[in-house]
Chains A and B, each alone.
Chain A
Amino acid sequence: MIPAAFDYVRAGSAAEAISLIGQHGDEAKFLAGGHSLLPLMKLRLASPSVLVDIGRVSDLNYIRDAGDHIAIGALTRHMDVETSAVLKEHVPLLAHAAGYVGDPQVRHRGTLGGTIAHADPASDLPATTLALGATYVVQGPNGTREIAATDFYQGFLESALEPDEMLTEIRVPKMGGAGWSFQKFNRRAQDWAIVGVAAWRGNGSSGVALVNMGSTPILAGSVSAALAGGASVADAAQLAAADAEPQADLNASTEYRTHLAKVLVRRALDEASH
């Protein structure tokens, strides 16, 4: 559990962080809460030669009402997302789901931007923001750009972020009173989901995304399309895995995982429809 040797630099602002990562190139990684990166380094599965610590970039720690959406700074801790009155009112699904990340220690250190940039399909909040139709704001040496969550996740731990770009803000549309549900199925409370479902439904529309059902967070578009077409929840849930590519691991075969997705999507939609 001793990582390989690395250098450490601390950034005071987003601009400085981007400049530092530009100087050090491919061998550098941003360090935010560290709860995904540091374990990988201790197991020597990742060996970046430089860590650019953005943990003290305080201007990226905020949750703001921006009219039709809520803007969340990338360095906002999970615990702040979970307990935010603004999010509880306008995006209760995200606040609730944040309470399922790891354990309290993890939630006090880990950041929303960190978990999204890490793009782990087994993490709760990438899929949740995907279900909510979020937009991510990223900043690079040439300014900022917006990436829709639907375009962001490109492969296992791979995102649309360029190596010299940094995720700075997550914009989540207000839910407008839509019903919602978050289903996390696992064997131990603190673990990644075997399968998770983030779902909302209201005003004739819906969003359903799956945790750990492929190499990226999966938007279950077929389910929403079926619902829009008038299908019952039970029938729509049968399409839960239609857009997924579930893998087998120690906790679940692909068959079981597929079955579980259908059960959990049905339960989520039942709860969201009430």
Chain B
Amino acid sequence: MTVTDDRPAAVLGSRLLRREDPALLTGEAKYTNDLQLPGALHLALARSPYAHARIISIDLGAALAAPGVVAAYTGADLTDLWAAPMPCAWPVTADMKNPAHYPVAVGKAAYVGDAVAVVLATSDAAARDAIELIDVRYEPLAAVVDLEDALSDRVVIHDELGTNKSYQWDLKIEDHEGAIDEAFAAAAYTVHDRYVQQRLLPMAMEPRAVAAVPQPFGGDITLYSSTQVPHILKIMSAITLGIPEHQLRVTTPSVGGGFGSKLNVYAEELLCLALARKHKVPVRWNEERGENAVATIHGRGQIQHMELAADAQGKITAVRVRILGDMGAYLQLVTPGIPLLGAFLYAGVYDIPLYDFSCTSVFTTLTPTDAYRGAGRPEATYAIERAVDSLARKMGIDPMELRKRNFIQKEQFPYTAMTGLTYDSGDHLAAAEMAAGLADYEGVRARQATQNVAGATKRIGIGQASYFEMCGLAPSRVLASLNYSAGGWEAATVRVLPTNKIQVVTGTAPHGQGHETSWSMIVADKLGVAPEDVDVLHSDTAIAPLGLDTYGSRSLPVGGVAIAMACDKVIDKAKKIAAHQLEASEDDLEFAGGTFTVKGSPDKAMPLAAIAFAAFTAHDLPDGLEPNLEAHVTYDPPNFSWPFGTHICTVEVDVETGHVQVLQYVAVDDCGNQVNPMIVEGQVHGGVIQGLAQALFEEAVYDTEGNLKNASLAEYLVPAASDVPSLTLGHTITPSPTNQLGVKGIGEAGTIGAAPAVINAVVDALSGLGVTEMMMPASPNTVWNALQAAQNAHSQTTAQNGATK
């Protein structure tokens, strides 16, 4: 018998094209800087050319006399405008040092790019011309660029703190302390490696842009900003400026990427708001690319000391981690918390019983660091995955085999780690084996054996990274235990309009992720409507007043799940109306394909469209039921979501030039159920390339005076399509058991897996030549230096051996 399935193809899990893209691709999308604001004044900021300097005097006279200039202010002129310093929402320890940080520096500049004065003018060009006329006299002080130098307090940056050390945060498990020392003493093998997480520039394609517009009546003010966090920005701006929160509206036009760099509250946002209120006209600011490089937060910036102890079979028995974190000159919104987001993950995907983590963070005279795609988790994954490869080399076994000996096994999930966190679900072996198959792991090993012979110009290497990441930020109670100043819930409203069109209001704030498409698919699946009949409203606090925005791969596993739950509440209410009008018991009703039917009586049916209209007219509702069909949910997730996977990179290294060619890149990622696999692939593509960029291309390079040497895209090497490989993607699907959609986050996973996979491959290619250490980025010069160092060490050893014979 043939069964014909005449149901419409499932929406959830389909590769529906993104509804956002036509406007983005045709240039129709409007960004903050596209806003037409008659009468707006343009803000420009004079920025310190010194990394560390006392401000002796500021002469604004010539700037004030320049054409088009309306006002100019020093930091001291503006102090009355601030009700509080700029916010840091994550005081990680009770005794954390946090210097008062104002939008315009007073007395001292603490990094190149620190604002020291501002101009308001009638055009952007006039404002920027005037900035060059401001005469600032500085007394330059010694820069603090190196983290270990910062820790020495040779030069103290913030006089009032008396030290450059901001905090020390320990994840020490009491009964582990003695046991760890014993584990290292008893170990058959140990690893003691030092890794450097270089500073990275987030480089969102759209630099930041801000416009503050006082409304013509009522005292209200609207802030337009290219931000990831309109809700957080509203609350923090209200606190910092003393604006009554209900008189402040924050909204974002299209936002051209963020990668964490727009998860912040910036000086320019506060300045536009404060000066718009002061001058009673719109005030706007548009960031230049070079400005973006110094005035927008940086990512990474850590020195990692990573230690492993293992028994004779390679079973890892203990992990000890010491981190030195670079905060930059000030603490921005979540600066101090970034290392903590990785603190639980230095055991990676492995069943390791003993754990000891400590992070010390210091101030430097550099641009503040903060969240950058992965935020703490790429750093942790890099350290454990490099260290596992080091251990495999010491043991002389294949790193894939060593990983298999240590993986947390599928049967162990949900797995309560020694850190106290519970990993929801996983199958690391399956992901690793799928990746190995796609990468032809054994075949590459065979080619390597024939190609990597003495004198070979080009050597092959294969590297792996198996990762676990903690995302979907986050259970509010867990955030409380980490001293974070907000919760991790997300809000959703689902509203069925009288004509059966749906409005979804979400507290997430998309800036490239495709939420409008994905959220419409969730609702279409739940309510049995077409995705195009669902409108998604977001990123405007007047329309979506509740929300905690988009970062930390949270939007789907928290915000998307909230929408699914709100749909359930809509269905519950609709069922009451349907039962009433069909004169049936609620228990006898079934809901499928957008229609309620009475079990056993298929002719008795009521579509959602009819219920929506009935709810609107309210002519015949059950007693006590409110009119209209809408539901609101605020969802606080019970756990993080724990995506995982294995990435395998194959490289060929030219040992004459040091050039690394990526031959193949395989990413197998498991983010549970996929709402839209095309969007998942897009996230993996972008994430992997960003991680590969850290491994091979990108680094914010500072000189000893604290000057950023590559503040333009000509010198800061963001790779283009022509510089990166095509990716081979695979997916295993292990649904999350903690939410009804079975979904996990995917926005950061690619970045987390890529850097260690690439560097492990480079080291693997060259280990036969004695190379075991590799700095990021593994530029041709860096690779060549490592080869030279290995060769010199080899010659010295040979010479010494010769001498002793």
C-alpha gap A250/B698 in the complex (Å): 11
Beyond A2-B125, A185-B659, whether A256 also contacts B720 by CB under 8 A is: no
Chain A residues closer than 8 Å to B657, beta-carbon distance: 185, 260, 263-264
Q: A187: which of B124, B290, B697, B712 is its contact (CB, 8 Å)?
A: B697
Contacting A at CB under 8 A, from B697-715, are 697, 701, 709-710, 712, 714-715
Q: Write the B249-293 contact mask toward A (1 if CB under 8 angstroms, else 0).
A: 000000000000000000000000000000000000000111000
Whether B781 and A2, one on each chain, are in contact in the complex, defined by CB atoms closer than 8 angstroms, is no
Q: Give the distance to chain A from B407, nearest Cβ to Cβ, in Å.
A: 36
C-alpha gap A81/B495 in the complex (Å): 62
Chain A residues closer than 8 Å to B785, beta-carbon distance: 253, 256
Listed A/B pairs (17) with beta-carbon separation below 8 Å: A1-B288, A2-B128, A4-B129, A5-B125, A43-B290, A187-B717, A187-B723, A189-B722, A191-B714, A251-B780, A252-B780, A253-B781, A253-B785, A256-B658, A256-B780, A256-B781, A263-B657
C-alpha gap A253/B656 in the complex (Å): 15
C-alpha gap A260/B656 in the complex (Å): 8
Q: Give the distance to chain B from A252, nearest Cβ to Cβ, in Å.
A: 5
Chain A residues closer than 8 Å to B719, beta-carbon distance: 188
Chain A residues closer than 8 Å to B720, beta-carbon distance: 188-190
Chain B residues closer than 8 Å to A185, beta-carbon distance: 657, 659, 780
C-alpha gap A260/B657 in the complex (Å): 6
Beyond A1-B288, A1-B289, A4-B129, whether A259 also contacts B784 by CB under 8 A is: yes
Chain B residues closer than 8 Å to A263, beta-carbon distance: 656-657
Q: Does A52 contact B (CB under 8 A)?
A: no
Beyond A189-B722, A194-B780, whether A250 also contacts B710 by CB under 8 A is: yes
Chain B residues closer than 8 Å to A189, beta-carbon distance: 720, 722-723
Chain A residues closer than 8 Å to B288, beta-carbon distance: 1-2
Contacting B at CB under 8 A, from A159-196, are 185, 187-191, 194
C-alpha gap A191/B717 in the complex (Å): 9
Chain A residues closer than 8 Å to B290, beta-carbon distance: 1, 43
Q: Give the distance to chain A from B206, nearest Cβ to Cβ, in Å.
A: 14
Q: Closest chain B residue to A267 by CB distance?
A: B656
Whether B129 and A250, one on each chain, are in contact in the complex, defined by CB atoms closer than 8 angstroms, is no
Q: Write the A189-206 contact mask toward B (1 if CB under 8 angstroms, else 0).
A: 111001000000000000
Whether B656 and A251, one on each chain, are in contact in the complex, defined by CB atoms closer than 8 angstroms, is no
C-alpha gap A91/B697 in the complex (Å): 35
C-alpha gap A188/B716 in the complex (Å): 11
Chain B residues closer than 8 Å to A190, beta-carbon distance: 720, 722
Q: Does B409 contact A (CB under 8 A)?
A: no
Interface of A, helix, strand, loop or mixed by DSSP? loop
Q: Write the A230-274 contact mask toward B (1 if CB under 8 angstroms, else 0).
A: 000000000000000000001111001001100110000000000
Q: Does B779 contact A (CB under 8 A)?
A: yes
**Most chain B Cβ neighbours within 10 Å, of A43, A190, A256, A259:** A256
Chain B residues closer than 8 Å to A188, beta-carbon distance: 697, 717, 719-720, 722-723
C-alpha gap A259/B723 in the complex (Å): 23
Chain B residues closer than 8 Å to A2, beta-carbon distance: 124-125, 128, 288
Chain A residues closer than 8 Å to B289, beta-carbon distance: 1
Interface residues on A, range: 20 to 34
Q: Write the A1-42 contact mask toward B (1 if CB under 8 angstroms, else 0).
A: 110110000000000000000000000000000000001000
Q: Closest chain A residue to B127 by CB distance?
A: A2
Q: Write the B127-144 contact mask toward A (1 if CB under 8 angstroms, else 0).
A: 011000000000000000
Q: Give the distance to chain A from B788, nearest Cβ to Cβ, in Å.
A: 9
- Identify the 7 closest CB pairs spanning chains A and B, nearest first: A189-B722, A256-B781, A263-B656, A188-B723, A2-B125, A1-B288, A252-B781
Q: Write the B597-641 contact mask toward A (1 if CB under 8 angstroms, else 0).
A: 000000000000000000000000000000000000000000000
C-alpha gap A191/B715 in the complex (Å): 9
Whether A187 and B701, one on each chain, are in contact in the complex, defined by CB atoms closer than 8 angstroms, is no
Contacting A at CB under 8 A, from B771-794, are 779-781, 784-785
Q: Write the B103-128 contact mask toward A (1 if CB under 8 angstroms, else 0).
A: 00000000000000000000011001
Chain A residues closer than 8 Å to B723, beta-carbon distance: 187-189
Contacting A at CB under 8 A, from B633-661, are 656-659
Whether B709 and A256, one on each chain, are in contact in the complex, defined by CB atoms closer than 8 angstroms, is no
Chain B residues closer than 8 Å to A191, beta-carbon distance: 714, 717
Chain A residues closer than 8 Å to B781, beta-carbon distance: 251-253, 256
Chain A residues closer than 8 Å to B710, beta-carbon distance: 250
Chain A residues closer than 8 Å to B697, beta-carbon distance: 187-188
C-alpha gap A256/B659 in the complex (Å): 12
Beyond A185-B657, A187-B717, A187-B780, whether A250 also contacts B701 by CB under 8 A is: yes
Whether B712 and A43, one on each chain, are in contact in the complex, defined by CB atoms closer than 8 angstroms, is yes
Q: Closest chain A residue to B715 by CB distance?
A: A250
Chain B residues closer than 8 Å to A259, beta-carbon distance: 784
C-alpha gap A250/B129 in the complex (Å): 30
Q: Give the distance to chain A from B566, nearest Cβ to Cβ, in Å.
A: 44
Given A194-B780, A250-B701, A251-B780; 7 other pairs, CB 8 A cutoff: A1-B289, A2-B124, A2-B125, A43-B290, A251-B781, A263-B656, A264-B657
Q: Closest chain A residue to B723 by CB distance?
A: A188
Whether B125 and A187, one on each chain, are in contact in the complex, defined by CB atoms closer than 8 angstroms, is no
Q: B779: which of A39, A251, A260 is its contact (CB, 8 Å)?
A: A251
C-alpha gap A4/B131 in the complex (Å): 12
Whether B129 and A187, one on each chain, are in contact in the complex, defined by CB atoms closer than 8 angstroms, is no
Q: Give the distance to chain A from B290, nearest Cβ to Cβ, in Å.
A: 7
Chain A residues closer than 8 Å to B780, beta-carbon distance: 185, 187, 194, 251-252, 256, 260
C-alpha gap A1/B124 in the complex (Å): 11
Q: Give the distance to chain B from A260, nearest Cβ to Cβ, in Å.
A: 6
Q: Closest chain B residue to A264 by CB distance?
A: B657
Chain A residues closer than 8 Å to B129, beta-carbon distance: 4-5
C-alpha gap A259/B659 in the complex (Å): 13
C-alpha gap A190/B719 in the complex (Å): 10
Q: Give the distance to chain B from A38, nearest Cβ to Cβ, in Å.
A: 13
C-alpha gap A191/B709 in the complex (Å): 17
Contacting A at CB under 8 A, from B284-339, are 288-290
C-alpha gap A204/B719 in the complex (Å): 42
